[in-house]
Amino acid sequence: MIRTGAQYLEGLKDGREVYIDGERVKDVASHPALAPIVAAKARMYDLHHEAEAAPKLTYSDADGIHSVFQQPPRTQEDWHRKWAALDLLLQDLGGVATRMGDETIGEMWSLQDGRDILAGIDPRFADNIDRHIRDVIVKDPFHVSANTDPKGDRSRPIEQRDPDMMIRVTKETDKGVIIRGAKFETAAPYADQAYLKPTVGAWTDEKESIHAVGCIVRMGAPGVKHICRAGFAHVGDPRDNPIASRFDEVEALVVFDDVLVPWEDVFFYRHTRAAQQVRATLHRYSAFPYVLRLLYVADAMIGVAMWNARQTGLEKLQAVQEKLADLVCYREGIRAHLAASIALAEPSPAGLLMPNQSILYAGRVMACSQLPVMMHAARELIGGQICVTPDAAQFDGEAGQWLRKFYTLNDQWDADDRRKLLAYARDLLNSGYAGHRLAFVQFAQAPHFNHLAAVYKSFDFSGPLDFVKRAASLSDKVDGASVKPVGKAAA
Ligand SMILES: Cc1cc2nc3c(=O)[nH]c(=O)nc-3n(C[C@H](O)[C@H](O)[C@H](O)COP(=O)(O)OP(=O)(O)OC[C@H]3O[C@@H](n4cnc5c(N)ncnc54)[C@H](O)[C@@H]3O)c2cc1C
């Protein structure tokens, strides 16, 4: 079954505890800070039911018709279909939304790759992951990711901190485990469920820990409290915030105040080996849709910079063309990494098809680490007017005649289009929301050091080692064996 937008909205009426701007939210779907992004997610559901879009967004199996976004990838064609489906979605929405479910569901496929480890701990845990992956396909929930604990002062051992700084199990009951702590999560206030697991952390030599827990938590379960950061969507005139007013994906500190997680929703508990496996392979699939979003961010930057160059007649200057070419190289670099990761995809331990890990992770580093540079290149190309242009209300007001005079460029470009382009460019590159999105890209799928660690662990060093061994005539005493721990070798 693929849900409709209306069914998704109905599911949010589960009495969930959401706070924003110091107040409890009565209705998530209609609160002005959340309504636009909730509507975008509802639109994603509805698109699957529209005659023209449905063939691109769905596939069928013995149980019925399902979303391509929830389909575990088995072939290169599956990946190309996911890419085309995302293209259709973002073109329809007219902007970039990242935490839409497709970008987090891959974390569960990674866990299934480690199913033998889970089965070794407790066969029920391995069955739980199989059943949940199937449930996501069949029931089509909106699924997000919960990794990051507040953590506290890490110069102290965890026993010397407030124990709630890292999610922990406080009690086992016949029904399940009771968890306590908090996580930072994008989109949790308007999602159905989160896959919760330990944060990036150094497990030492301990074999068991109360913090080593991985499970599904329902976002409306008793004891789950969503304390949202300040929103961008409902602040100011949407004409001045054309992106933030539609695509603000609200983050929350999600507090778990003694939340019961039924045994059937637990994937692992106590065993640090399972937690290590999860952290080592978490973004094996989900890095793909994450990086793919940046292709559209790059298109937005190229688009605003090029329209601006055309409006102002600067497009013909060679120096301006070179700066535009820099943006194109960034964009095509992202596309090349994604395309190559499909072309050279690798079988996973559980029989799925992983994008080529070394290429995908290298692409993630390139796309994320170069974004600040590219945003600045686009900002510089557009010039100072993105930060000095008066807001839309001024164009309507008494002084509007002066603004229309100085913002009209020629017969084709009137003041209204000039203002709209500059407002869009500002919200993409210069506004508070633009800065927030930059932080999102740098952190939301783990921070930079973790991205580099993924590259280090997935790259096969044996090629360069062997090459230099021969080129430098090193003796046979030195060993250039591969240190590649991914795929079957890592299982
Ligand atoms: C906009 C946004 C959205 C987010 N959405 C989600 C979400 O949906 N789900 C979720 O679980 N989390 C989410 N996060 C949280 C994100 O995963 C964390 O911010 C990230 O993991 C870093 O954790 P931290 O902020 O506690 O930083 P810290 O762990 O305090 O690290 C701060 C900095 O210290 C340095 N550092 C720390 N440890 C090391 C190390 N071992 N090696 C090298 N350098 C190190 C790095 O420079 C690092 O960036 C989001 C964050 C942002 C900003």
Q: How far is the CA of 22 from the centre of ligand 1 (A)?
A: 25
User: What's the rounded mean pLDDT across residues 176-204?
Assistant: 91
Ligand 1 pocket member 439 (CB < 6 A):
yes
User: What's the rounded mean pLDDT across residues 29-52?
Assistant: 98
Q: How far is the CA of 253 from the centre of ligand 1 (A)?
A: 13
**From the alpha carbon of 104, which atom of ligand 1 is closest?**
8
Residue of minimum CA distance from atom 39 in ligand 1: 449
Ligand 1 pocket member 43 (CB < 6 A):
no
- φ/ψ (deg, to 5) at 257: -95, 85
**pLDDT per residue as tens digits for the range 63-83:** 899 999 999 999 999 999 999
Q: Residue 16: which pLDDT band, with cuts at 50, 70 and 90? A: very high
Listed by start position, the domains of the chain span 5-279, 287-458
Q: How far is the CA of 447 from the centre of ligand 1 (A)?
A: 5
Ligand 1 pocket member 444 (CB < 6 A):
yes
pLDDT at 117: 85
**From the alpha carbon of 439, which atom of ligand 1 is closest?**
53
Q: Which residue has the higher pLDDT, 202 or 315?
A: 315
The residue to mutate among 100, 142, 184, 219, having the most atoms of ligand 1 within 8 angstroms of its beta carbon, is: 184
Ligand 1 pocket member 183 (CB < 6 A):
yes
- CATH number for 287-458 (one of 1.20.140.10, 3.40.50.720, 1.10.3720.10, 3.30.750.24): it is 1.20.140.10
Q: Which two tokens stand for residue 487?
A: 């795929």
Ligand 1 pocket member 184 (CB < 6 A):
yes
Average pLDDT, the chain: 94
Residue of minimum CA distance from atom 49 in ligand 1: 447
**pLDDT per residue as tens digits for the range 92-151:** 999 999 999 999 999 999 999 988 888 888 888 889 999 999 999 999 999 999 999 999
**From the alpha carbon of 200, which atom of ligand 1 is closest?**
21
pLDDT at 200: 62
User: What's the rounded mean pLDDT across residues 354-375?
Assistant: 98
**pLDDT per residue as tens digits for the range 370-417:** 999 999 999 999 999 999 999 999 999 999 999 999 999 999 999 999
Q: Residue 203: which pLDDT band, with cuts at 50, 70 and 90? A: low
The residue to mutate among 96, 98, 99, 148, having the most atoms of ligand 1 within 8 angstroms of its beta carbon, is: 148
Residue of minimum CA distance from atom 36 in ligand 1: 449
User: Residue 291: is its pLDDT beyond 70?
Assistant: yes
- Nearest Cα to Cα of residue 360 among 373, 376, 344, 347: 344
Give domain 5-279's CATH superfamily. Butyryl-CoA Dehydrogenase, subunit A, domain 2 (2.40.110.10)
**pLDDT per residue as tens digits for the range 225-266:** 999 999 999 999 999 999 999 999 999 999 999 999 999 999
User: Residue 446: is its pLDDT beyond 60?
Assistant: yes
Q: Do domains 5-279 and 287-458 have the same CATH topology?
A: no
